[in-house]
Amino acid sequence: MLKAHLSHYKECPIEIVSSYKEIDGNKIRDIFFCNSSGQLQGISEQHFNFQCGITMEVRMNAERNPYGTIEYEYDASGEISIIRERTPDGKTISEEHLDN
């Protein structure tokens, strides 16, 4: 699969997206980031609400140790209005307010 991806897209790293799983009423999927040799480099665990809007992304290394979280807030029209990046202990690194 990796060789086929490289020959077609000519780019690395690759991303492998899992199907959704439901945990405690939340939809969650994983994205696995691999280098050109197929070695796992990191994982993004994405959480979605029932409207399929992403609410949170937990970024982890290959051993599933979290190193950061991205939170998404939506306005009344359903558009992303705030993107917030936090450390694993909850400290805010950055917060971006989007003009929709």
- Give the pLDDT confidence of 26-42 residue by residue, as tens digits: 899 999 998 877 788 89
Token readout for 80 is 């992303």
> Mean of the per-residue pLDDT values for the chain?
87
What confidence score (pLDDT) does residue 35 get? 82
Q: Record the pTM.
A: 0.78
Q: How far are the Cα atoms of 6, 31, 52 from residue 45, in angstroms, in the given order?
A: 24, 7, 14
Token readout for 51 is 């409207």
What confidence score (pLDDT) does residue 71 get? 96
Count of beta carbons in the 10 Å neighbourhood of residue 8: 8
Is residue 23 very low, low, confident or very high in pLDDT (cuts 50, 70, 90)? Answer: confident
